[in-house]
Structure 1
Amino acid sequence: MSEQSSVQNPVNLRLPDGSVRTFDKPVTGTTLAADIGPGLLKAALAVKVNGDVWDLDREIEADSDVSIITKRDTEEALDILRHDCAHVMAEAVQELFPGTQVTIGPNIQDGFFYDFARDKPFTEEDLAVIEKRMHEIVARDEKITREVWARDEAIAHFTEIGEKYKAEIITDLPANGPITVYRQGNWKDLCRGPHLPSTGKLGDAFKLMKVAGAYWRGDSKNAMLTRIYGTCWTDKKELKDYLHRLEEAEKRDHRKLGREMDLFHLQEEAQGSVFWHPQGYTVWLQMEKYIRNRLQEAGYVEVKTPQLLDSKFWEQSGHWAKFRENMFVVPDEIPNTEEEGPILSGEGKLMALKPMNCPAHVQIFKQGIKSYRDLPIRMAEFGCCHRNEAHGALHGLMRVRQMTQDDAHIFCREDQITEETVNFCNLLSQVYNDLGFPEFKVLLATRPEKRSGTDAEWDLAEKRLEDALKETGLDYGFAPGEGAFYGPKLEFHLNDAIGRTWQCGTLQLDPNIPKLLGASYVGEDGNRHTPVMLHRAVLGTLERFIGIMIEHYAGKLPLWLAPTQAVVAPIVSDAHGYASDVHAKLKAAGIRAEVDLRNEKINYKVREHSHAKVPVILVVGMREAEDNKVSIRRLGSNDQTVMDLDEAIAALVQESTMPSGNA
């Protein structure tokens, strides 16, 4: 440890363990790491200074809280590694393909991309060549250094070397801000950083994934660029695991399985809206029935509200200013028999398809006088909503324009917030466990930049929600700035079978919309008070959650949820009569069963129904008919179990019971 008690302006650096190292002059992260130990110096990637990540060779000039970032600091390390991987890819591209311009190359989930301007677009065949050169650049262990340039100098330099996109980026940057350039060997790029000390620190756990087209700055009026996507991880095992997850995800793609299981389809003429087939709608109805049962057990009342509402409700609630561009808006027209066409009802009156249910639920709450004794009121609706999502953002069931939410709003007093939050978290835990997602993460999302209400109201709302969350006993983290515009919220992120995370459930504490829409109740003091509204959903949207379920189970849905629970397949035509009797008894017992009397071999029938993800196949022949038995074959197994028919039916009935206990 380096301590200089006699120096005039020492720099005191406090480490995560609370210890302080004192230096007699400004010190770099590299020097600090070396002072702590050679092992840390070797592993060091960057330094965190008062919460900001810096390059290791940047000097720390004042007393600070610091920590050295290594690959063990997964999130921060990955951010730096992926950023550097994009730079190494750009260097490789410009070495291999002179004249190519680099534009922007940000990190994205699980990786990075870089957009390139080139007369001849890159193809998938180019990726292997570029990736090979990237490994060579890593092996060269090129030193990476940060430089601060004058604005005019930077513009002139990048213009001179033919990098017009970089020059344009600099021109659009704030005039008084620093222009930082990172030099990587003989290659350089405009960048804010931070970066690794050298390319050798990157390692070899990266892979280029695909190419795509992209407009400069996302504007179709601008030039088309070529985007190269890549992924990068801290080591080869993480990379291998990620590639395995991608392979599994492709096998489990709900769009592919949806076709194989004949569940649903989508088509151009109804962008973002789902055509549910009989099999798929059976799954839908089962999910809706299950969550309805859980809501009834939890004391919710169910309502139904209009899809088309006057724009004034959305203006009053604040949604109009926030979501107007994502709403489907139509004029309120009166049919006119005259040739001039329809007439607007009122001057410029507009209606909107609801993107959410909350303003409509407030209208129900406002009917009649509510007392403090009436609260809480837990108002649920399987409300059909519409959001004008961009065509390019639509993705099967996961991102749609027409959706149905398991939505509810709890109108309560302030002293009921904690209890209602605890109750909701218990409900959500039960539902996720029932559906096969026992593990989930909770994040408290705080105030966004654009919001309703005062800072004091937000301070209070965030404190109340965090206090309530503490009462649940659940571990939680924070999502700064990710709250709803009207209040803070809890986000519930579940994990699926291949390790992916999905944000589904939410609880949003809203003191603003009830006030904006004039909702009130009579308090114990006889005065009018504004209720707190808790917006909450467990599944989110049924479409998306069903998509998640299909992928989580790879189409092998639990028996209670499977659209066809059992198929009776006779081996020979002489057993058709017995097969039909078995089918009838299954149906009478409430099992969703079919009988396959086609003149096909039994192996063909088993293979076809297995491909359609039917959980149970009951194979019957003359021996089973004579003994009143069935041979049961489970999806994913080659084994068969012979059982007495009545015993088999009783077992299937028990297994197919909905988790909430209501068939």
Structure 2
Amino acid sequence: MQQKPEAERKTLDDRQKMTDLERVRHSCAHVLATAILRLWPDAQFAAGPPVENGFYYDVELSHRISPEDFEKIEAEMKKETKANNTFEKVVVTREQAIKDAQTGRLAALGERGTPSKFKLDIVQNIPENEPISYYKNGDFLDLCAGPHVMRTGNIGAFKLTHVASAYYKGDEKNPQLQRIYGTAFKNKTEMEAYFTMLEEAKKRDHRKIGQEMGLFAIDTEYVGPGLPLWLPKGTMIVEELENLAKETEFAAGYVRVKTPHLAKEKMYKTSGHLPYYAESMFPPMELKEKGGDSNEEAERYYLKAMNCPHHHRIFAAEPHSYRDLPLRLAEYGTCYRYEQSGELFGLMRVRSLNMNDAHIYCTEEQFADEFNAVNEMYLKYFKIFGLEKYQMRFSTHDPKRLGDKFVNEPELWKKTEDMVRNVLVKNNINFVEVPNEAAFYGPKIDVQVWSAIGREFTIATNQVDFAVPAKFGLTYRDRDNTEKTPLCIHRAPLGTHERFIGFLIEHYAGNFPLWLAPDQVRVLTIGDDEALVNYAKLIANELRANMVRCETDFRTDPIKAKIAEAEQTKVHTMLVIGPRDMEAGNVSVRLHGKGSLGAKPKGEVIADILASIKERRS
């Protein structure tokens, strides 16, 4: 990795765990810098790390780089890869690194002689106990902690993708740099597959499909950015998901609760969310009780950013014994988070979110079974939605950040992380372990899934909380009549309506399975003969009586035009009825995107539709 200020650097362990593809992309960032210097020798470089799906390098340059420059930059990059230069590592002292930054040897071709202000700043912010190293390829020398591929020729296929502006260290008080993005792969075949996926992803963009299908709207003028409005058809999907969660959780022994949309400041100070989480919360409201003392101080209230503190207070509302545990409290609670405007993105990043939340209060002895049951619930949902590729990211703490980023309970951290790890290993769960990304109160699982076209999404979370229940004084009376603090499992298998539906829109390309489709069935008649229309109405009414979302089209338009319109609006099942169908007691069935299934008895068709919805077939 490019050696960067502490807030941006990865740990040495992180770097050692860098994947082969990340090494390729990191190495390609150096090749990019080499090429830019050959074209524009006055370029000043900051950081150039690998990122998801590629890499970037930040550069200060008088020439404004545009996509029109990419071809000549890539040509210079190809010269460097064909040269097949070795990536050579050199470890230096801090004093030498400072001198080299001041004399312009870093991020330079040979002895350039222009002081490197960004590299100097980076060197001065590297912790005293961390080694400092350079990497050299050909005549390009850069401050870097590595790792890299062996030679520039090992990079394979690469392509520059876009350029953007970025402040140094993300601070608007610092110089604005040009951030040049690219991607790299081991070979051309992998890169072509990636760009094919990107093209398909554009077609599946949930914002585009959501608008075309009339699922949701973002009204920035009157409602506000990041605050989606669910339109009738989108609300149908929301309700179907909530029904699925309610049924699944009822069968698993959950009880449902409801909590307010705001709470006193004291709640979030006790939980530990304030002041550390304040930037992600909407500003407080200061209120005095109506009719109260005019001299009393105003109470500060916050919009709810998370459900857990409210659920802790529900647990505290009644006494509990070990016989009451595990207690599983579930709620589709609405939360509000003040995401930065530049990070808002359709349904994927919003400020109002409806979370499939629950909190399980249990004993240590019950933990393994409860935690695994949550993971099993994930797997059940994956099967329903046809998700074949998934991975659990097991996030642990960094012992060096205890009392800072993480609750200062080293023994409890080790104990609960071992408990989680044992559950995952024992039940053969596909997981990777990621250090320094736990919640402040305990280890967690983030669930990564891949859509039908191979795009990766973070969908859900499963967290262990060994700290906050004690802050609220939550206890239960154990078998030996002593009071003990329960463990709490935070879980949200379906994440939020917003993000999960955004994912599903792209996963299905808007072609939802029958049970989830906003337009489930449309009955189409060939002509408008009264007897034919009455027969069609009987079928439609029977479906509606069974809560099937069924529309009718009795217009005199040609049947091909009716079918084309139903296909365009993504109606899942079309029941086409002509005189012959009526005489035989049949209907002709068509499925969106799949064509005609032929004529079948109406009773059989209705029974199959109802069974498909009930069983939530994919």
Counterpart check, 1:103 vs 2:46? yes
CA distance in 2: counterparts of 1:178 and 1:471, whole angstroms? 39
SS for the counterpart of 1:320 is: coil
Q: Would you say the 8 A contact 1:154–1:179 is kept in 2? A: no
| Structure 1, unpaired ranges of 5+ | 1-49, 55-72
C-alpha change, 1:345 and 1:213, in structure 2 (3 Å) is farther
Counterpart check, 1:221 vs 2:173? yes
Counterpart check, 1:530 vs 2:485? yes
Q: Please name the residue that 2:443 is paired with.
A: 488
Paired amino acid for 2:410:
D
CA distance in 2: counterparts of 1:162 and 1:614, whole angstroms? 64
Paired amino acid for 1:596:
D
Q: Please name the residue that 1:127 is paired with.
A: 70
Give the CA deviation at 1:594: 1.1
Counterpart selection for 1:157 from 84, 103, 109: 103
Q: Please name the residue that 1:202 is paired with.
A: 155
Structure 1 residues 304-331: Cα deviation after superposition (integer angstroms, max 9, x where no partner): 0111111111111111133111111323
Q: Please name the residue that 2:269 is paired with.
A: 315
Counterpart check, 1:458 vs 2:413? yes
Paired amino acid for 2:417:
E
Q: Please name the residue that 2:187 is paired with.
A: 235
Counterpart check, 1:294 vs 2:294? no
Give the CA deviation at 1:286: 0.4
C-alpha change, 1:155 and 1:97, in structure 2 (3 Å) is closer
Structure 1 residues 368-417: Cα deviation after superposition (integer angstroms, max 9, x where no partner): 22111111111101110111111111111111111111111111122111
Paired amino acid for 1:216:
Y
C-alpha change, 1:51 and 1:388, in structure 2 (3 Å) is closer
C-alpha change, 1:487 and 1:179, in structure 2 (3 Å) is closer
Give the CA deviation at 1:458: 1.3
CA distance in 2: counterparts of 1:185 and 1:257, whole angstroms? 49
Query: Superposed, which structure 2 residues align to 1:21-32 within 5 Å?
Result: none
Paired amino acid for 1:642:
A
Deviates more, 1:434-443 or 1:263-272: 434-443
CA distance in 2: counterparts of 1:232 and 1:447, whole angstroms? 31
C-alpha change, 1:267 and 1:129, in structure 2 (3 Å) is farther
C-alpha change, 1:598 and 1:167, in structure 2 (3 Å) is farther
Counterpart check, 1:605 vs 2:562? yes
CA distance in 1: counterparts of 2:118 and 2:378, whole angstroms? 49
| Structure 2, unpaired ranges of 5+ | 1-11, 106-112
Q: Would you say the 8 A contact 2:28–2:155 is kept in 1? A: yes
Structure 1 residues 221-274: Cα deviation after superposition (integer angstroms, max 9, x where no partner): 333322221111122222122222212222221111111211112232421111
CA distance in 1: counterparts of 2:466 and 2:552, whole angstroms? 56
Deviates more, 1:385-394 or 1:174-183: 174-183
C-alpha change, 1:304 and 1:164, in structure 2 (3 Å) is same
Q: Please name the residue that 2:5 is paired with.
A: none
Paired amino acid for 2:29:
A
Query: Superposed, which structure 2 residues align to 1:13-412 within 5 Å?
Result: 76-147=19-90, 148=92, 150-158=96-104, 160-161=113-114, 163-174=116-127, 179-203=132-156, 205-269=157-221, 270-334=224-288, 346-347=296-297, 349-412=299-362
Give the CA deviation at 1:343: 10
Give the CA deviation at 1:352: 1.1
Paired amino acid for 1:253:
D
Counterpart selection for 1:414 from 359, 364, 368: 364
Q: Would you say the 8 A contact 2:448–2:459 is kept in 1? A: yes
SS for the counterpart of 1:146 is: strand
SS for the counterpart of 1:545 is: helix
Give the CA deviation at 1:658: 4.5
Structure 1 residues 447-470: Cα deviation after superposition (integer angstroms, max 9, x where no partner): 243112410121222222233334
Q: Would you say the 8 A contact 2:98–2:120 is kept in 1? A: no
Give the CA deviation at 1:578: 4.7
CA distance in 1: counterparts of 2:325 and 2:476, whole angstroms? 9
Structure 1 residues 178-232: Cα deviation after superposition (integer angstroms, max 9, x where no partner): 55333332333332333334322223x1111112222222222333322221111
Paired amino acid for 2:373:
N
C-alpha change, 1:656 and 1:196, in structure 2 (3 Å) is closer
CA distance in 1: counterparts of 2:216 and 2:518, whole angstroms? 12
CA distance in 1: counterparts of 2:15 and 2:173, whole angstroms? 36
Structure 1 residues 464-486: Cα deviation after superposition (integer angstroms, max 9, x where no partner): 22333344343433122222111
Q: Would you say the 8 A contact 1:309–1:351 is kept in 2? A: yes
CA distance in 2: counterparts of 1:100 and 1:473, whole angstroms? 51
C-alpha change, 1:53 and 1:334, in structure 2 (3 Å) is closer
Q: Would you say the 8 A contact 1:453–1:486 is kept in 2? A: no
CA distance in 1: counterparts of 2:75 and 2:294, whole angstroms? 65
Q: Please name the residue that 2:108 is paired with.
A: none
Give the CA deviation at 1:103: 2.5
Q: Would you say the 8 A contact 2:288–2:297 is kept in 1? A: no
C-alpha change, 1:345 and 1:145, in structure 2 (3 Å) is farther
Deviates more, 1:156-165 or 1:530-539: 156-165
Paired amino acid for 2:102:
A
Q: TM-score, normalised by structure 2?
A: 0.88
Q: Would you say the 8 A contact 1:303–1:380 is kept in 2? A: yes
Counterpart check, 1:541 vs 2:491? no
Q: Would you say the 8 A contact 1:567–1:595 is kept in 2? A: yes
Aligned-pair identity (%)? 37
SS for the counterpart of 2:560 is: helix
Counterpart check, 1:427 vs 2:377? yes
Q: Which has the larger radius of gyration?
A: 1
Give the CA deviation at 1:173: 4.1
Give the CA deviation at 1:522: 1.4
Paired amino acid for 1:281:
T
Counterpart check, 1:638 vs 2:559? no
Give the CA deviation at 1:516: 0.4
Counterpart selection for 1:501 from 456, 459, 471: 456
SS for the counterpart of 1:643 is: strand
SS for the counterpart of 2:606 is: helix
Q: Would you say the 8 A contact 1:377–1:412 is kept in 2? A: yes
CA distance in 2: counterparts of 1:367 and 1:578, whole angstroms? 57
Q: Please name the residue that 2:7 is paired with.
A: none
Paired amino acid for 1:553:
Y
Q: Would you say the 8 A contact 2:74–2:160 is kept in 1? A: yes
Q: Would you say the 8 A contact 1:154–1:170 is kept in 2? A: no
Paired amino acid for 2:437:
E
CA distance in 2: counterparts of 1:344 and 1:319, whole angstroms? 30
C-alpha change, 1:179 and 1:510, in structure 2 (3 Å) is closer
C-alpha change, 1:623 and 1:343, in structure 2 (3 Å) is farther
Which gives a bigger RCO, structure 1 or 2 (Cα 8 Å, sep 6+)? 2
User: Paired residues, what number?
Assistant: 587
Structure 1 residues 500-546: Cα deviation after superposition (integer angstroms, max 9, x where no partner): 33332332221211100011111222221111111112111121111
Structure 1 residues 68-110: Cα deviation after superposition (integer angstroms, max 9, x where no partner): xxxxx9x532222111111111221222234333322111011
